[in-house]
């Protein structure tokens, strides 16, 4: 069968790659193409577009890049209609993918949504749009199944693919030596995200953090798909080190972490590293988000746990003094740290077992072979 994927950001590329691997195992004659990144390519997909061209953060930023994004949307729609895949598989990235699903309406190509947009957080009426344009839903948060049921949609809860990525990870004992990273002090992991704005917000604080946490080596888990100069303000200090595309390796060796909100917060929790979650966007984007977003938390850890497991420093709260205060609270032997680790154990039980990618591939192939389309 022919599969067309659309993963518009780094976390989507990770989940797409794991699903691609499973589909190729179960469908020996599969052809896979789409929008993704290096991980999707390594898994066996041909890229129609690299996701970096679509990566944009915040409401105001989307408006600025809208003409270019709409151009990519039209090109992707045209490509899919010409290539005629057996199914289009959309992964998160709601702003782009929900529009693409609407454009594909009437094309006669099934549209599956794997990792649905977080429409339960704001503008829940978008569920009706999904009902009109998407054939099957595959959700990764337990409460999403009941949420979509309220709108008359059946969703398959398949667990969370982050568990797959962690289960497949095997640490390299020689990693510090290979990356020339010192081990004479404990590590403090910095995960600034994958977008320029996110990275800039965190690296600007690194000199101050390095001075205060002089008893640690600050290890920045960078990503190689952004220009190296974006990390420059954080470099040049004795106890600050940058390593690319080694987030899990860094986390498994770190005593605590500062993490930009996103999938990385959940990965950090499941790898049992105490963390502080941070997030900052433009003032306009934040103003709009405050009006629209209906949930109490922004981190996946707190959302899934339905409580304040990790501290979230958002917008004006995200500054050097507060970051130092909160990181200090989760240093070794602290009560806050011990409680957070206990809450991580509860979270892990709630998340269930790995195998989401395998389960999803089996379900998708079953639906396609049976001809069963609508949820």
Give the C-alpha separation, 375 to 366, whole Å.
Answer: 13
Q: Could you tell me if 123 and 247 lie in one domain?
A: no
Is residue 25 in a domain? yes
CB atoms within 10 A of CB 252: 16
DSSP 317: G
Residue with the larger pLDDT of the pair 53 and 93: 93
Q: Could you tell me if 11 and 152 lie in one domain?
A: yes
Strand 187-191 and strand 155-157: pairing? unpaired
**Is residue 340 within 8 Å of 310, Cβ to Cβ?**
yes
**Model confidence at 123: pLDDT above 60:** yes
Helix (H) or strand (E) run with residue 240 in it: strand 240-244
**Is residue 99 within 8 Å of 325, Cβ to Cβ?**
no
Residue 29, token pair as written in the block: 């004659």
C-alpha 362, offset from chain centre: 23
Give the C-alpha separation, 227 to 242, whole Å.
Answer: 13
Q: Could you tell me if 214 and 325 lie in one domain?
A: yes
Confidence grade of residue 60 (pLDDT, cut at 50, 70, 90): very low
Give the C-alpha separation, 16 to 23, whole Å.
Answer: 10
Q: Could you tell me if 204 and 59 lie in one domain?
A: no
Tell me the pLDDT tens digit for each residue of 207-233: 999 999 999 999 999 999 888 999 999
CB atoms within 10 A of CB 115: 30
Residue 276, token pair as written in the block: 């502080």
**Model confidence at 121: pLDDT above 60:** yes
* Phi, then psi, of 363 in degrees rounded to 5: -65, -45
CATH of the domain at 14: 3.40.50.2000
Q: Could you tell me if 191 and 303 lie in one domain?
A: yes
Q: Could you tell me if 143 and 172 lie in one domain?
A: no
Q: Could you tell me if 175 and 50 lie in one domain?
A: no
Total number of domains in the chain: 2
Q: Could you tell me if 365 and 237 lie in one domain?
A: no
Length of the chain: 375
Mean pLDDT computed over 51-69: 65
DSSP 45: P
Q: Could you tell me if 40 and 73 lie in one domain?
A: yes
Report, in angstroms and rounded to the nearest whole number, the Rg of the chain calculated over CA atoms. Answer: 21
Q: Could you tell me if 204 and 285 lie in one domain?
A: yes
pTM over 0.85: no
CB atoms within 10 A of CB 74: 12
Give the C-alpha separation, 162 to 270, whole Å.
Answer: 9
Residue 23 domain boundaries: 2-159+355-370
Give the C-alpha separation, 348 to 87, whole Å.
Answer: 32
**Model confidence at 192: pLDDT above 90:** yes
**Model confidence at 32: pLDDT above 70:** yes
Say how many CA atoms lie within 13 Å of 362 toward its Cβ: 7
Q: Could you tell me if 344 and 359 lie in one domain?
A: no
Give the C-alpha separation, 5 to 92, whole Å.
Answer: 11
Is residue 375 in a domain? no
Q: Could you tell me if 145 and 228 lie in one domain?
A: no
Tell me the pLDDT tens digit for each residue of 136-191: 999 998 789 888 999 999 999 998 888 888 988 999 999 999 999 999 999 999 99
Give the C-alpha separation, 160 to 11, whole Å.
Answer: 12
For all residues of the chain together, what is the average pLDDT? Answer: 90
Residue 283, token pair as written in the block: 């003032």
Q: Where are the alpha helices (DSSP H) in 169-217?
A: 175-178, 196-203, 206-212
């Amino acid at each position: 069968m022919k599969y067309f994927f659309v993963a518009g950001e780094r976390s989507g590329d990770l989940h797409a790659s794991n699903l691609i691997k499973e589909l190729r195992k179960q469908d020996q004659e599969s052809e896979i193409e789409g929008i993704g990144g290096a991980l999707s390519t390594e898994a066996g997909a041909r890229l129609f577009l690299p996701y970096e061209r679509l990566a944009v953060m915040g409401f105001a930023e989307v408006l600025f890049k809208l003409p270019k994004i709409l151009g990519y949307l039209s090109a992707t729609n045209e490509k899919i209609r010409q290539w005629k895949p057996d199914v289009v598989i959309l992964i998160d990235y709601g702003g782009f993918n929900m529009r693409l699903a609407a454009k594909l309406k009437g094309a006669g190509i099934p549209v599956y949504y794997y990792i649905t947009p977080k429409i339960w957080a704001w503008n829940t009426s978008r569920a009706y749009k999904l009902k009109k344009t998407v054939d099957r839903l595959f959700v990764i948060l337990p409460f999403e199944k009941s949420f979509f049921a309220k709108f008359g949609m059946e969703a398959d809860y398949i667990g969370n693919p982050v568990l797959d990525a962690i289960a497949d990870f095997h640490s390299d004992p020689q990693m510090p030596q290979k990356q020339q990273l010192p081990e004479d002090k404990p590590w403090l992991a910095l995960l600034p995200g994958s977008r320029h704005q996110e990275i800039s917000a965190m690296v600007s604080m690194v000199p101050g953090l390095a001075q205060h946490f002089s008893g640690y080596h600050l290890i920045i888990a960078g990503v190689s798909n952004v220009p190296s100069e974006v990390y420059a303000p954080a470099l040049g200090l004795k106890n600050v080190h940058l390593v690319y595309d080694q987030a899990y390796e860094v986390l498994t060796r770190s005593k605590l972490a500062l993490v930009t909100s996103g999938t990385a917060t959940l990965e950090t929790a499941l790898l049992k590293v105490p963390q502080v979650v941070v997030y900052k966007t433009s003032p306009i984007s934040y103003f709009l988000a405050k009006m629209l977003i209906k949930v109490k938390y922004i981190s996946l850890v707190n959302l899934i746990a339905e409580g304040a497991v990790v501290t979230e420093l958002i917008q004006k709260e995200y500054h050097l003094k507060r970051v130092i205060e909160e990181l200090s609270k989760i240093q070794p032997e602290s009560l806050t740290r011990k409680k957070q680790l206990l809450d991580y154990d509860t979270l892990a039980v709630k998340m269930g077992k790995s195998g989401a990618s395998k389960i999803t591939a089996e379900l998708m192939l079953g639906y396609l072979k049976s001809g069963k389309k609508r949820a």
